Amino acid sequence: MAQGQPNGCLFCFQRSSDRSKWEDSHNMTRWLPALALIALLLSAGTLACGGASPVTSLTGVAVSQRLTLQVHSAELAERLVYQEDGQTYTIAAAPGRRIVAMEATVTNPGAEAALLVIGADSATLSAGQNDSYALLDPRLHREATPAATAPKYYSPWLWGPFTLKLGFGVRGWLFFDVPETVKLEDLTSLSWRSLDSMSVPLAPQRR
């Protein structure tokens, strides 16, 4: 045993510099759990902030042999205002329900002139694999209202027959009746069954 070294020590340092290095390393090691916890909390906070960003719209596009269907936007509302033939109408959701207003364009990309007929069975909104919601006839349950400046008019709407010439399309609004518990992020696809069949995957858009 070298002179000056205590009996029973686990580590016998030959140079004071070695001991200094070990002390620095030991002190840093003591702080590692705290540093790791801080990093974890910061990461969780970042994820929480990111997850809290609300879904404000939906978009999507699909192409079939005869049609191209593009969803430009979607929103939830309890009350919609639209105009038809110079008259203003209001649609109000039933108690416990809301309306999904979806703006879309249906295009005839490469066929001869085709007759597109849009009705209650033409489109379905899906929320996962189990829940689906049919297209809402905008003429039902509507009320004529005095002409006034509304924040937004949901017109024209896609309903009835349209003649699509080669390379032309029609753009307007589709309405769906959904439970008030449904959120935009719950809606996953739009199924189309007029003139051709296709499924449009819906991508959530955030602020």
Buried b (16+ CB within 10 A) or exposed e, 127-144: beeeeebebbbbeeebee
- Compute φ and ψ for 84, nearest 5 degrees: -145, 125
Statement: the pTM of the whole predicted model exceeds 0.85: no
- Compute φ and ψ for 77, nearest 5 degrees: -150, 155
Element (H, E) at 78: none
DSSP string over 49-77: HHHTSPEEEEEEEEE-SS-EEEEEEEEEE
Mean pLDDT for 18-23 is: 44
Per residue in 74-104, pLDDT tens? 999 999 999 888 889 999 999 999 999 999 9
Extract the tokens encoding 202: 């819906």
